[in-house]
């Protein structure tokens, strides 16, 4: 079979012929991969500096969609999402035509779901759901500011917050990104990096998907007693805030931790159904497996709106 193999840390993987995964062990199955996600987590693992540092050579890929072709007879032929269980972190991942995985990593996926969308939607979809419903606890009539509103997580936050009845202000860094904001946003604010923030009316909730200087910049635009949900840090990993300002504004800082958070199966099924039926939208770029290097480079440079997948 063909797999994308990493031989050197912080380098592009090589597409090469490799052996098929062996017969599945106890509690394992073999999945024939249709589509595999290319994520920031995958790139972090490939640097060799992450907590999980697999032995080289190694096949990355922390998520994918495919069909069970070997293993438990009750699962044969089922179309599944593969993620978790150390896949792409501690054991070979989904950037291959076939992968051996524990049964516990499988979630059934409808046949009608687009392969690239299903392979890439889990993380942004469930993160946005948790930010809006569990951590931010957004309710009808609240004023919500979403940063990085053209990205995968941000765009879903915009849609889910609007669905919850909030008035949504979408924040992006340039006019090009403004065109990618979901039309469920009530306002779109273009804020270049480092620019002063002007928001009409005080915000009840800030959903910050970018990090960096966002929270300090927006504190003055939030009502006392508001909530700031810290979701991502692509614009910077360090948060510096003036404590007197934070205390006077009385804004709660609420960090997201999806590793510790349980997402009920029915939530995933409902949200995937919404994406499949068009009630929610997520931009997904799909490239052929032969262009694996292009997919990695696009993700590395931050190109493309939304998620990226390769099709086998």
For residue 117, what is the domain's CATH number? 3.90.180.10
Is 94 part of a structural domain of the chain? yes
| Tokens at 249, concatenated | 């504004």
% of the chain at pLDDT higher than 90: 74
| Domain match, 92 and 143 both | no
Is 54 part of a structural domain of the chain? yes
| CATH code at position 223 | 3.40.50.720
What's the confidence (pLDDT) of residue 52?
84
| Domain match, 159 and 238 both | yes
Q: What's the CA gap between 120 and 4, in Å, rounded? A: 18
Q: Which residues contact 260 (CB under 8 A, 6 or more apart)?
A: none
- 3-state helix, strand, coil split of the chain in percent (to 5) is 30, 30, 45
| Domain match, 71 and 135 both | no
| Domain match, 100 and 138 both | no
Q: Does 198 score more than 70 pLDDT?
A: no
| Domain match, 189 and 226 both | yes
| Domain match, 74 and 107 both | yes
User: In the listed set 218, 239, 255, which residue is the last one of a domain according to the structure?
Assistant: 255
| Domain match, 144 and 180 both | yes
Is 270 part of a structural domain of the chain? no
Q: What is the tens place of the pLDDT at every residue in 9-52?
A: 999 999 999 999 989 999 999 999 999 999 988 998 999 988 88
Range of the domain at 64: 2-121+282-311
pTM: 0.89
Q: Return the H-helix or E-strand segment holding 41.
A: helix 40-46
Is 269 part of a structural domain of the chain? no
The total domain count for the chain is 2
Is 138 part of a structural domain of the chain? yes
| Domain match, 106 and 143 both | no
User: In the listed set 216, 237, 255, which residue is the last one of a domain according to the structure?
Assistant: 255
Average pLDDT over residues 283-305: 89
Is 275 part of a structural domain of the chain? no
| Domain match, 135 and 113 both | no
Which parts of 38-119 are beta strand (E)?
63-70, 79-83, 98-102, 106-108
């Amino acid at each position: 079979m063909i797999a994308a193999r990493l031989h050197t840390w912080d380098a592009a993987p090589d597409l090469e012929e490799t052996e098929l995964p062996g017969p599945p062990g106890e509690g394992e199955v073999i999945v024939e991969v249709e589509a595999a996600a290319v994520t920031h987590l995958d790139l972090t693992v490939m640097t060799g500096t992450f907590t999980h540092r697999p032995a080289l050579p190694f096949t990355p890929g922390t998520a994918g969609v495919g069909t069970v072709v070997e293993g438990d007879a009750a699962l044969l032929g089922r179309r599944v999402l593969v993620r978790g269980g150390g896949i792409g972190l501690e054991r070979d991942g989904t950037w291959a035509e076939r992968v051996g995985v524990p049964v516990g990593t499988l979630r059934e996926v409808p046949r009608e779901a687009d392969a690239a969308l299903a392979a890439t939607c889990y993380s942004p979809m469930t993160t946005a759901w948790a930010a809006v419903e569990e951590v931010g606890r957004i309710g009808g009539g609240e004023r919500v500011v979403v940063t990085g509103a053209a990205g995968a997580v941000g765009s879903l936050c915009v849609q889910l917050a609007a669905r919850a009845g909030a008035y949504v202000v979408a924040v992006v860094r340039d006019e090009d990104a403004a065109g990618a904001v979901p039309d469920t946003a009530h306002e779109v604010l273009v804020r270049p990096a480092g620019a002063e923030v002007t928001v009409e009316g005080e915000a009840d909730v800030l959903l910050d998907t970018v990090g960096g200087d966002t929270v300090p910049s927006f504190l003055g635009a939030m009502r006392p007693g508001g909530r700031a949900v810290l979701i991502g840090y692509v614009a910077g990993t360090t948060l510096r805030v003036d404590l007197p300002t934070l205390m006077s504004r009385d804004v709660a800082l609420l960090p997201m931790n999806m590793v510790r958070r349980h997402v009920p199966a029915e939530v995933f099924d409902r949200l995937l159904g919404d994406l499949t039926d068009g009630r929610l939208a997520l931009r997904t770029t799909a490239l052929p497996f032969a262009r694996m290097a292009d997919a990695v480079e696009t993700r590395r440079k931050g190109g493309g709106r939304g998620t990226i997948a390769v099709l086998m």
